[in-house]
Structure formats: structure tokens, C-alpha cells
Amino acid sequence: MEGECYQEALSDLDMALAQKFDDERMARTYGMHLMDYFPHREKGLIYYLMKDYDAARQEFELSVTQYASAKAFFYLDKVRTQIMERDKASPSTPHLVIIAPSGEDEIRTRDDPVIISGMAEDRQYVSEILLEGEPIFTGASGQRVPFEKALTLPEGEHRIEITARNLSGRTAKRELIIHVDRSGPIITLTTFDPDVGMEGMLYDESGEISLFMNSEAVPISKGREADFSVPVRSGTGPIRLLAADRLGNETDAVIDADTLDKLRGRFAPAGLLAGRASDITSDAVMVLGEGSGLRSGLSSSSSLSSEAEIILTDLPDQKTVFSGIVSVRGQVSSGDDIEEVMINDILVHRSLGRLIFFNHSVSLKRGKNLIVIRAKERSGRETVKTLTLLWEIPEVFKPAYRCVFKTGLFAIHAFDHADREARGILFQHLFFERLMSRDRFRLRMENSLKDSLSMRNSDPGRKATPNQKELKMARFMLKGYVHSRRIGIETVAWVVDMKTTEILSLENEKGSYMDAYSEFQDISVLKRIAGSLSEKFHNAFPLVKGRITRKDGEEFVSTMEKGDIRMNWPLVVGSDTEFVGNAVIREKTEDGTCRIRLEPDKNYDAVLGNWVITE
């Protein structure tokens, strides 16, 4: 084929098919000798080059049913396109169906991450799906192509464009408007009078608010703003107001006798707190405070003056947190009407009130984070409180505990063309960079590969390889090869368990090998197929986490999030601050529950509630 002797090549392939009919990756020839065997695929390529598209389609379709290779799918798409152009098929447009977060174009959610999934359909084959201009991996083109993507979105409004493209180049687009809302409603207290009760106002962007007083529902009107009035009876104990939106975000306020006594001076100018604070008994405060742990209200030790005061709940300064999202809960009170409250320049509240309770979600960045709360009074006076939080990665989520592959230079088959061999080596460098870019995998490299990468790292734009001395011993070996030919470049990679010498099977694909292919070999194409192959590895070996819920004999039961976990794949167990040990899966169920066994000589009781995550 390299010499374009197509008829002779077809004759040789027919002779091969008479001995073995099915296409196969790494077919055994004799003894321990293995080789790729794709007679149908190569016949399809010859027919395609000879412009016999019907014969080419027949061979490619047969090839992908026997062994689904990226190269066969690549040319099958080209053949289908040529046939549609030849037959002057009326063009169609893809149909996009959004399944999650919901089938609507505008939704509210508090999820993290936000999962976007759906289905693209087209009789002329969906060939590509883009989310915000970036390809979503879907595998081969098809008339029905499912897709899914997890997005980490901060609170606020996000417009997400999804595009489906078919083989004819026609596109369909859907724009999702996603309102990420992880903050609770605002509670503003305006009046307390024994003859009237407690009055105030609620506010939430969702427009759907529920209110409870001491666990009993309080009827309120619908809308973003809702006034409320609740009776207060003598001897009922402290009052707990709980406001919730439709997503389950909550804000609570506990108001006791001491709080009302200290607020008397602040509400007095408006004649709002003329009631008797003794109507709320102080004896019950101790019971509620000890039993419930509710601290959203002003504590009895708060020192209230005429100046505005900002009090935060359970979030001390310089605290280390292990999540990228925190809830800033607290209250603002003043003897003057508070006009607005802002957190990190985001408007949280804009309505006159003298006692305001809030629960606002803040997204953090790695390391030190400064949170600034500002309260502005109607007089123009501004009160500022700052808070510093340190966001650290939980111990077992750190890259040091991720899977390590031992690897070396891939075999390069370039048919005596030095430039093709160089492109094969360049592809491997690009692939390794993409593989390590998400901190999912780490590579322990053989000396020949380290030397080659060191030469490549002389380019200042290229990412340096990790310190090999810091890597743990590898259990798995990453192997592969590159076929660089006159027409196209094919790359194949697989993983070997060095304990058993077995090639790891891929639970979500047919076969044990991952591959990528392109007809051209310029740098932009090499980067694209390196990303494609890396994506296949991340899909085949996902990072899945969960929590250990209980002990059952010598094993533990853990509840895992969605994702494929292979049996006997190594797990890491630990807390936010401590590595406990390694484990393996002994049994798993469809609902995400797994039975795991820890390595010997560990304190089993200490791991209940801890993280379990794939290595």
C-alpha cells in the first residue's frame, strides 16, 4: 500500500482473509509473536483511495463490528460523507436532547459539579459535540450519540452553549442558562411586639421560599420577597427561624431573651422592640443551645453597640478548609437601618433592616483566600469584617497518591522515514503531557525516555516532567506504539498489571487497547490526537471517590459516586489530613456500593467515615 500497488495489496489481503477472517488487535501469529491484523480495514482504505466508496463502506463496517479501531471509524466517516455527496442526499440537521440537569433550557441547581448530559441524533451521523467550543469526547460518530460533561461552576448565572455537528457539517445549538445557587434566603427582622409578634422579610433569588418557626411551617406569599409575621407566646423558649429555598439552601436564626434585651436599644428609636424580652424564657435557651448546636442567632455574650456589628458562625479567621466551596453564615445588626450587605463585592442584601441573617456561598482558590464582608447603613457609615481561609487539598486527593505508570519510549514504526519517526516521538511527548495535566496519572520513566523528554523540555513552553525521586513504585506499566505512514499516523497504548502480567481490560470499550488516528501529521493534529488518547485513558480509569460507611467483618462497605471502578484496582483510604492505607475492591453493586478490604495491620475502626478514592 505504501507503494500504491493497490490491486496486489487487495490480492494479498484476500489470501490472508482465507486463513483468518476477523480483524483483531495484537493477533497471535505463532508462539509469542503478536501483530495487528486488520485485513478488512486495510481493504476498506484501498477501496476508499480507489474511490469505490460502497465497497469501502462494506469493509469498514465489517471491521468495526469485529474490532472497533479509531482508524476504521475515521475512514468510515469519510466514506459516508462521500456517499452522501455522491447521492446528493438532502441535508439534515442534528437534534439535541438535554437530559441533565433537566430538559429545560433554563435551570437552577446547587450541584457541584454540575453534570450536563444528553443525546444528539441525526440520520447523517453526529460526528462532533462541542461544549463552549471545546470537544466533548464521544468516541465514534453515530446516529445516536450520548454525551456527558461535569462542570465546576461558581455561584451565579452561566450561559453554556452546546453544539452538535454531523458529517455534512451542519450544526444544531442549544444554550443552557444555569443559575448556580448555593446560598440560603436572607432573613431580615424588623419588628418584635408581644401584641403583634415577630415581623420581618425574606428574600431569595429563586422566588420560592419556605419558612419554619421552631419546626412549624409559617405561611408566606410566593415571590423573591416575602413578608412574614409570627406570634410569640410567653414561655415558648428561644425562637428558631429556618428559611429554605426550593433547592434546599437554608438560613437559620436563633433569637433568645438575651438577644432581644440587647437589641432593644437598636430597635428602640423606631419603636420596634417595645415588647417584653421575658416573653421568651431563658431556661430553654440552654437546652436548645446544648442539644441542637444551633449558633446562627446572636449569642448571649454578644456585645451590641450603636455601631453595626458583623458576627460570623463557625468560620474562624485563618481556618483551614478542604473544600473549594464554603458557606459564610452570620448576621449583621445595627442601631441604624442597614442598607446593603456585600460579600467579596457580591450584593447579598439590599433592603432596610436592623437585624439580618445570611448564608452566602463563596468559591475559593487553592491556598489563601480573603473574604470581605461589608455592611452599609442608611447614614452612609460602612462596617467591614475580613476573614482569611486556607484551602488545602485533602490528603488522599493529592497527586502523590495517584496511579503511577512505569513507561518507556513507545515503539515507532516509520518505514525508514526519519521525519516520520521524529513525529512519532513528538506525539508521545504530547500524549504524556496531556495524560499528566489533570494530576490523575503519574509516570515513572525509563532513562531513555527521561533523556528524550529532557531535550524536549529545553523548550520553555513545554511542561517539565515530575521529579522521579518523589514517585512511588509503579504497579502498572504503560506500553504503546506509533505507526507513522505515508497516509496517516496511528497510535496504540495499553496498561499491563505487573503483578499478574495481564493487560487490563477496558470495561467501557471492546478490547484492551486504546487508540487514536489521524490522516495528517502536523503539530496541531498531533496535539489533537494526543488529547483524544489521553481522554480515553481518563474515561477508562476514572478518579472515583466515596466514603466508608460501615464495617462488615474484615471488610468495609463504602458508598461511591458515579464511575466505573474495576475489580482489584488499588484504592487509597484516609481523611482530609491523614493517609490511612491502601485497599482493594472485593465486590461492587450497580447502586455504587462497594465492599473493600484494607491492607493488613491497620486500625480498622479509625477508617469509618473516611475517604476512599481510586489510586
Q: What is the 3-state secondary structure (H, E, C) of 47-77?
A: HHHCCCHHHHHHHHHHHHHHCCCHHHHHHHH
Provide the residue ranges of all domains of the chain, joining segments of one domain with +.
6-86, 95-180, 186-392, 397-540, 545-614
pTM above 0.85, yes or no: no
* Cα–Cα distance, 198 to 191 (Å, whole number): 6
Q: Give residue 273's pLDDT band: very low, low, confident or very high (50, 70, 90).
A: very low
Share of the chain above pLDDT 90, in %: 53
User: For residues 191 and 572, which has the higher predicted lDDT (pLDDT)?
Assistant: 572
Lowest mean pLDDT among 24-38, 265-279, 512-526: 265-279
According to the model, what pLDDT value does residue 370 have? 97
According to the model, what pLDDT value does residue 3 have? 67
Residues 464-486 have a mean pLDDT of: 76
First to last CA, the chain: 44
According to the model, what pLDDT value does residue 566 have? 73
Count CA atoms closer than 13 A to 609's CA, side-chain side. 4
Model pLDDT for residues 65-93, shown as the tens digit of each residue: 999 999 999 999 999 999 999 999 999 99
According to the model, what pLDDT value does residue 471 have? 58
**95-180 and 186-392 in the same fold:** yes
- pLDDT at 499 exceeding the cut of 90: no
* Cα–Cα distance, 307 to 199 (Å, whole number): 23
Residues 237-251 have a mean pLDDT of: 92
According to the model, what pLDDT value does residue 236 have? 61
According to the model, what pLDDT value does residue 111 have? 93
The x, y and z cell numbers of residue 12, run together, are 494479498
Q: Are 55 and 46 in contact (CB under 8 A)?
A: no
According to the model, what pLDDT value does residue 393 have? 94
Smallest CA-to-CA distance from 556 within 519, 591, 523, 585 is with 585
DSSP H/E element including 453: helix 447-456
- Give just the sign of the alpha carbon dihedral 500, 506, 512, 517: negative
* Cα–Cα distance, 105 to 160 (Å, whole number): 10
Model pLDDT for residues 560-607, shown as the tens digit of each residue: 887 677 777 889 999 999 998 888 888 888 777 888 888 775 666 668
The x, y and z cell numbers of residue 181, run together, are 445557587
- The CATH number of 545-614 is 2.40.10
Q: Are 91 and 131 in contact (CB under 8 A)?
A: no
Count CA atoms closer than 13 A to 333's CA, side-chain side. 26
3-state secondary structure of 164: strand
The length of the chain, given as a count of residues: 615
CB atoms within 10 A of CB 37: 20
According to the model, what pLDDT value does residue 265 have? 52
Q: Are 92 and 170 in contact (CB under 8 A)?
A: yes
Lowest mean pLDDT among 36-45, 46-55, 288-297: 288-297
- pLDDT at 506 exceeding the cut of 90: no
- pLDDT at 288 exceeding the cut of 50: no
According to the model, what pLDDT value does residue 325 have? 95
The x, y and z cell numbers of residue 109, run together, are 441547581
According to the model, what pLDDT value does residue 397 have? 93
* Cα–Cα distance, 212 to 210 (Å, whole number): 7
Q: What is the 3-state secondary structure (H, E, C) of 532-582?
A: HHHHHHHHHCCCCEEEEEEEECCEEEEEECCCCCCCCCEEEEECCCCEEEE
* Cα–Cα distance, 298 to 385 (Å, whole number): 16
- The CATH number of 397-540 is 3.40.50
- pLDDT at 208 exceeding the cut of 50: yes
The CATH architecture annotation of domain 186-392 reads Sandwich (2.60)
Query: Looking at domain 95-180, what is its CATH homologous superfamily?
Result: Immunoglobulins (2.60.40.10)
Burial of 28 (0-12, 13-18, 19+ CB in 10 A): exposed
According to the model, what pLDDT value does residue 459 have? 40
Q: Are strands 441-445 and 403-407 parallel, antiparallel or unpaired?
A: parallel
Lowest mean pLDDT among 239-253, 311-325, 567-581: 567-581
* Cα–Cα distance, 304 to 466 (Å, whole number): 55
Q: Give residue 6's pLDDT band: very low, low, confident or very high (50, 70, 90).
A: confident
* Cα–Cα distance, 2 to 258 (Å, whole number): 90
